[in-house]
Structure 1
Amino acid sequence: MPLPTVNLDDRRFDDIMDEARRLIPQFCPEWTDHNASDPGMAILEVFAWMTDLLLYRVNQVPDKLLIAFLEMIGVQLAPPRAAGAPVTFYLSAPQDTPLSIAAGTEIATLRTEVNEAIVFSTERAGLIRPPTLRGLYTANTLAQVRLDTEGQGGEGHSDATRHDLAHLGLPGYRFPIFQPQPRPGDALFIQLEGDHSEHVVALTFGVELAGGAGVNPNHPPYVWEAWQGGVSRWATCEVEYDGTQAFNVSGELILRLPTMREGTFFDQHGYWLRCRLTNEQMHAGYKVSPDLETLLVDARGITVPARHATIVQNELLGQSNGTPGQRFRLLHEPVLHLDPERDVLEVVTAEGDIHLYTPVPDFSTSAPEDRHFTLDATTGEVAFGPSILQADGSVYRFGAVPPQGATIRMRRYQYGGGAGGNVPARALSVLKSSVPYVARVTNHAPAAGGRNGQLLEDAVQRVPYLLRLRNRAVTADDYELLAAQVPGVARARCVTPNMAVPGQTYPGQIRALTVPAGQVTLALLPDVSFDDLIGLDDVSTDPLAPLTGRIAPERLTLSAELRGAVQEELDLRRPVGTTLDLRAPQYVWVSVTATLRAGAGASRPVREDVRRRAMQALYGYLNPFTGGPDGKGWPFGRTLSISELYGLLRAVPGVEVAEDVQVVLTEPGQPETRETITGSLPLPPQALIVSDVHHVRVDH
């Protein structure tokens, strides 16, 4: 049972006043007017108020001692975390020359009578490049995939048609955007000369529909994609505005592009966009292809990451008195993580010499000549190294002391953070300073990741964990907890010899690990952000959740840097004589095919919405980060039962019956390696379920 918090005195203002009134007849019997209007009662209220303040301070002493004890065992309150969001800058008009958006550009929410503006700063610079059109091609994307001779990703198309840019826009010249008889996989490839990653691009089309063969502009049968290379290959672009109404009329199409990489198609190098017909072409697509007469490409803006932070530069802290252990306080707090290269202290001596002091976590390794300082992120307090009296009578200095009379100035720091920075989409709309040729700014996605500073109660909860570990790895739980603390590790599983079920067999290439005596085997799942997901046609337009596709296989690879960081962390804490085997989990890629039935008479848009919800449920559930019954990631070694997928799909709104659900083992990039699972899919202790491409059909 935990010890109760000591309350030295629980009296408050009202209690003190009641006690004083009871004592009046004893000490002053002639005082008979006890009404609030009496001057004596006013004096009592003043003293009761002052006593209440003293008792409040007295009761803070246990908290102060508790904080001191926490610092002695290495527990510090975590500072606030800043929210981040992609911010898009829009130009007032297309420019003929590149335009730079400087790093540290500040944007904010609208200030109201009740709420202050929330300020964000861009984390890196952005360069808006005017695009140059180099080629147009029409081909079918279902041709065989190949790699070009330089190792760049590419595709070969035997039926590709190259269009003459020199004649584009001339009277009477036009060509079909897709094949004359459009079919799924047909695509218009656009070759750009330069890298336009994260750009906002406007494509102005002059089109003519042959025979009036238009489609529903609200449900176009195509998707816009940008080449990213590697395994992720084509990534979906966000359509911000479609003035062509799905190529029904001439107009402007505005795209927000993802990260791009150079690739080779049709023996041509460049950066590629494509408009590809999806399977919807078979149901309500083009009867004949629209013809393209003109095409203009302009850059309208760029998207850069920003976070909830305000930048302060060249803040004067004061003058040094020449003694060790000096402390100064910044004007703003809480302070965000310092960059050792930019966020430094400038110490200007009386002779005009400038010395730079760099931030360190503590002074334990600081030599007397090292110019170091520490910063308390929560309070904004800057401290220089102290001097400690040694056993032999000498004094050792931890870090250099600024000379007496020197001026101390903080060159740069950022403050902010907290849950208040988790603003919704389109809330950041104010430019704090004018940027040439920039008309407006906004965030199309909500800001996320903001967190308030850690409370004392939360820090107390960590004490049993720290005292249990004692900074040593002995049990399997110790190894998992310590490995998960390394930045970049999402989850860890320690595989022991007694975890494998005797006689258990697994389908496909799944095998249980054999752990020899004296060896600790850790399966490390690297952290993956939503930006590392592959956009798929089936879920790319789903507005319900940020998860919009399967995880890129190469993002799940355990890098040598991450493996080395975990090895270095655990080498300091493992017992002598044990060896470490650090490896990636065994990923079991599964593809689900399901047929669902919606309500009788459900329209096509309703069935499409049900299908997207079902796809979202599958990608979210069969996921090492967000999957599993508890939504915290598919558990290591947990068996997948097909019956639970029936229940998952049946719970999707709009689904009446889930039928014909099949689970197939796959290998990314090897379509011939497929094995259908019946009943359940057992997994060894080091294995995780990962979603490959799922297929869902909704009937009525």
Structure 2
Amino acid sequence: MPLPTPNLDDRTFQDIVDEAKRLIPQYCPEWTNHNVSDPGVALIELFAWMSEMVLYRVNQVPERLYTHFLNLVGIEPFAPTVARTDLTFWLSAILDAPVVVPAGTEVTTPASVGAGDDAIVFSTVRDLVIAPPRLAAAQTTSGGGSRVVDVWDDLRFAPDGVACFASADLTPGDAFCLGFRDSLAGQALRIDVEARAEGIGVDPTDPPLVWEVWNGEGWLGCRVYEDTTGGLNRAGSVVLLVPVEHEPLSIGNVVAYWLRARLLAPAPGRPQYQASPRVRGLEVSALGGTVGAEHAERLPGEQIGRSDGTPGQTFSVGRAPVLPRTEEEYVEVVDGDGTVVWTEVDDFSASGPGDRHIVWDDATGVVHFGPRVRYPDGSTRQHGAIPRDGAVVRVSGYRSGGGAHGNVGSSTLTRLRSSVAFVNNVVNLAPATGGVDAETVAEAKVRGPLTLRTGQRAVTAGDYERLTREASHEVARARCLDAGRGNGAVRLLLVPQVVGAPTAHTIDDFAISPTLMQTVTEYLDERRVIGTAVEVSTPYYQGVSVVALVHAAPGRPDALVRQQVTEALSRFIHPLTGGVDGTGWAFAQDLNAAAVTQLLEAIDGVDRVEEALLFEYDLRTGARLGSAKEVIRLEPQSLFLSGRHQVVVR
């Protein structure tokens, strides 16, 4: 049990008043009227009330002292994390030479979007090179890639062009492949197609094909920004946004960077080709490019102070919080011997008197130099070198940003802070995610004792789950499987933070980004027991579709009741907002029709629920699977996610 908290002064208002009245005969014997109506007694009560307020504050531990206590034991509040998104830069014209958008290019929102009417700044994390694509090969594949036909010459010279899908029966998986000499990673491509309407039978607004590129491990889908060809069926153009990963692959003994159009399997309500479309020619050009960006403002180098030669010096940069440093961001000391870069470390515990080490606090932006520590035998040791007296302390540059206000919506980052040659405009086609505010002192007070009790070792399942949540603010939930079975393997399931309304979430929103995967893996690798293998993955998301027949209360519009029911179902069957307590659907907890009925009956505007049916749902194709069920079982490694619900209101 925790130690009892002492009450430094337990006197109450009445105790102070009585004590003051008992002192009146000793110090002022002529004062004989001690009634409440006496002005002197009124003053005593006033001062007693003020004293009671002071005593209340004395018995509280100020937040500043509590923060110092946490710092002494090594518990520091988490710094804010940055939101990230992809920015698409569009060229002003099609060019024959590469265009470079340099790393650190800053893009902002309109002022009205930012917190406090201030624009929110994002900066690109690497150089973006938009180069003219060079098409070098064309092939068709069928039979799962076992049959490859080179159609490069036919595409350029044959009068009838090329049949995109080689199988006579148009087998799903047939593909039309275009090979390029250079990587198309992050490019916005326009493919001008010369074709005629031969692939009849399809809906030109929703053709059964998908564009993909090879990323070294598998085929990634490209985003179709615009398609005026009706599925390669008429002259027009296809504008594609290529993912930021594109690696070479050998197809038919030709090594190239491949882009393919793959035929999809028939889906309910989606008509299929009756004949293969034919392409008589095409031309590929670059319209722009996509690059990752983070909610950060790049700040130039600055002088943060001058050393006085004493141990434990601290200097602050001009802006805080400071983001984790890159190779180009460091602290340097300038003295008579020249400029020397000092190494950043987590703490000074392993630093010797000659080690040029510094600690740079992310949350406050304070740069610490090594302290001098006295040991029990009377000796002292300097942990980390001390800059010479008069030496100038500088930072080469840093980035400042982070926080939940960086989670801006799509199409809000539209303003370039400085012009870039041949770039016409910029936009974020997807919302920014991952921004989390700094940890408050109150939150650190709750986490601190738990950390001290359990340490920083991952042994039990609870340790793994706690450390996984500590690894990054982007982790919403963590589930540990197989820990403690003695086989040396631990499986961790992560559910990332997802912004926006639950009704708009899809399975792709719960994908784990490579950055988050690396952060969690490296954090656990330092804390796992030697010999334990840790596998980090995502849960299997079981789609659920509810078909409900409800009766609206008198005077309630059917459309409003239908919307409320749909939103309630989407929130209830959800990894983050689901379940009875609204904190996320529990692992291995089944879903039954009775719970759904009880949920719907509690909605304002629903008079009664006549029927509620549960269906398993394919989150990729959008189709219900099998027949209706009273109970849908959930495996230990799975979570429910809402599919498309059908609500009938009478």
Q: Taking structure 1 as the reference length, what is the TM-score of the superposition?
A: 0.66
Structure-2 change in CA distance of 1:642 and 1:189 (3 Å) = farther
Whole-angstrom CA distance in 2 between matches of 1:591 and 1:479: 24
- 1:523 maps to what in 2? 490
Q: Which runs of 5+ in 2 are unaligned?
A: 11-49, 551-561, 602-608, 619-628
Instruction: Quote how far apart the aligned CAs of 1:229 are.
Output: 4.6
Structure-2 change in CA distance of 1:288 and 1:567 (3 Å) = closer
SS at match of 1:408: strand
Instruction: Check whether the contact 2:493–2:539 (CA below 8 A) recurs between aligned residues.
Output: no
Paired residues for 1:611-690 under 5 Å: 638=588, 687-689=636-638
- 1:274 maps to what in 2? 260
Whole-angstrom CA distance in 2 between matches of 1:78 and 1:202: 44
Letter in 2 for 1:525: L
Whole-angstrom CA distance in 2 between matches of 1:586 and 1:121: 29
Matched, 1:452 2:437: yes
Matched, 1:297 2:297: no
Instruction: Check whether the contact 1:210–1:288 (CA below 8 A) recurs between aligned residues.
Output: yes
Structure-2 change in CA distance of 1:256 and 1:647 (3 Å) = farther
Letter in 2 for 1:336: L
Letter in 2 for 1:156: S
SS at match of 1:569: coil
- 2:136 maps to what in 1? 134
Structure-2 change in CA distance of 1:598 and 1:370 (3 Å) = same
Instruction: Check whether the contact 1:126–1:304 (CA below 8 A) recurs between aligned residues.
Output: yes
Instruction: Quote how far apart the aligned CAs of 1:111 are.
Output: 3.4
Instruction: Check whether the contact 1:333–1:415 (CA below 8 A) recurs between aligned residues.
Output: yes
Paired residues for 1:383-398 under 5 Å: 383-391=368-376, 393-398=378-383
Paired residues for 1:138-149 under 5 Å: 138-140=140-142, 143=143, 145=144
Structure-2 change in CA distance of 1:472 and 1:200 (3 Å) = closer
Q: 1:223 aligns with which of 200, 206, 210?
A: 210
Matched, 1:243 2:243: no
Matched, 1:569 2:527: yes
SS at match of 2:393: strand
Letter in 1 for 2:100: S
Q: Which runs of 5+ in 1 are unaligned?
A: 9-50, 146-154, 498-514, 532-541, 572-578, 600-609, 665-676
Instruction: Check whether the contact 1:240–1:256 (CA below 8 A) recurs between aligned residues.
Output: yes
Q: 2:176 aligns with which of 181, 185, 188?
A: 188
- 1:346 maps to what in 2? 332
Paired residues for 1:98-177 under 5 Å: 98-111=98-111, 115-140=117-142, 143=143, 145=144, 155-157=145-147, 161-165=149-153, 168=156, 172-177=159-164
- 1:261 maps to what in 2? 247
Instruction: Quote how far apart the aligned CAs of 1:237 are.
Output: 1.2
Whole-angstrom CA distance in 2 between matches of 1:84 and 1:61: 38
SS at match of 2:527: helix
- 2:604 maps to what in 1? none
Whole-angstrom CA distance in 2 between matches of 1:226 and 1:697: 35
Percent identity over the alignment?
31
Instruction: Quote how far apart the aligned CAs of 1:362 are.
Output: 2.2
Structure-2 change in CA distance of 1:5 and 1:305 (3 Å) = farther
1:208-264 Cα offsets, whole Å, 9 max, x none, are 2249x475433223222223353xx33221111123244454222110012223223
- 1:360 maps to what in 2? 345
Instruction: Quote how far apart the aligned CAs of 1:681 are.
Output: 5.7
Letter in 1 for 2:289: I
Paired residues for 1:465-504 under 5 Å: 465-469=450-454, 477-478=462-463, 480-482=465-467, 485=470, 491-493=478-480
Whole-angstrom CA distance in 2 between matches of 1:360 and 1:491: 29
Structure-2 change in CA distance of 1:415 and 1:7 (3 Å) = farther
Whole-angstrom CA distance in 1 between matches of 2:614 and 2:323: 53
Instruction: Check whether the contact 2:483–2:489 (CA below 8 A) recurs between aligned residues.
Output: no
SS at match of 1:466: helix
Whole-angstrom CA distance in 1 between matches of 2:137 and 2:463: 58
RMSD: 5.1
Structure-2 change in CA distance of 1:376 and 1:218 (3 Å) = same
Instruction: Check whether the contact 2:614–2:632 (CA below 8 A) recurs between aligned residues.
Output: no
Structure-2 change in CA distance of 1:238 and 1:496 (3 Å) = closer
Whole-angstrom CA distance in 2 between matches of 1:378 and 1:588: 32
- 1:79 maps to what in 2? 79
Q: 2:504 aligns with which of 540, 544, 558?
A: 544
Letter in 2 for 1:688: Q
Whole-angstrom CA distance in 2 between matches of 1:586 and 1:377: 29
Structure-2 change in CA distance of 1:313 and 1:137 (3 Å) = same
Structure-2 change in CA distance of 1:350 and 1:310 (3 Å) = same
Instruction: Check whether the contact 1:320–1:404 (CA below 8 A) recurs between aligned residues.
Output: yes
1:102-124 Cα offsets, whole Å, 9 max, x none, are 22222111235962221111112
Whole-angstrom CA distance in 1 between matches of 2:405 and 2:381: 44
Whole-angstrom CA distance in 2 between matches of 1:529 and 1:132: 38
Matched, 1:66 2:66: yes
Structure-2 change in CA distance of 1:483 and 1:235 (3 Å) = closer
Instruction: Quote how far apart the aligned CAs of 1:470 are.
Output: 5.3
Structure-2 change in CA distance of 1:223 and 1:334 (3 Å) = same
SS at match of 2:451: helix
Matched, 1:442 2:409: no
Instruction: Quote how far apart the aligned CAs of 1:375 are.
Output: 2.4
Letter in 1 for 2:183: D
Structure-2 change in CA distance of 1:275 and 1:179 (3 Å) = same
- Tell me whether 277-286 or 321-330 shows the greater mean CA deviation: 277-286
How many equivalent residue pairs? 556
SS at match of 1:284: coil
Paired residues for 1:574-589 under 5 Å: 581-582=532-533, 584=535
Structure-2 change in CA distance of 1:265 and 1:646 (3 Å) = farther
Instruction: Check whether the contact 1:139–1:187 (CA below 8 A) recurs between aligned residues.
Output: yes
Instruction: Check whether the contact 1:530–1:546 (CA below 8 A) recurs between aligned residues.
Output: no
Whole-angstrom CA distance in 2 between matches of 1:530 and 1:298: 37
Letter in 1 for 2:177: F
- 1:315 maps to what in 2? 302
- 2:324 maps to what in 1? 337
SS at match of 1:276: strand
- 2:34 maps to what in 1? none
Whole-angstrom CA distance in 2 between matches of 1:656 and 1:178: 49
Instruction: Quote how far apart the aligned CAs of 1:465 are.
Output: 1.7
Letter in 1 for 2:190: A
Q: 2:362 aligns with which of 364, 373, 377?
A: 377
Whole-angstrom CA distance in 2 between matches of 1:598 and 1:183: 41
Whole-angstrom CA distance in 1 between matches of 2:248 and 2:433: 31
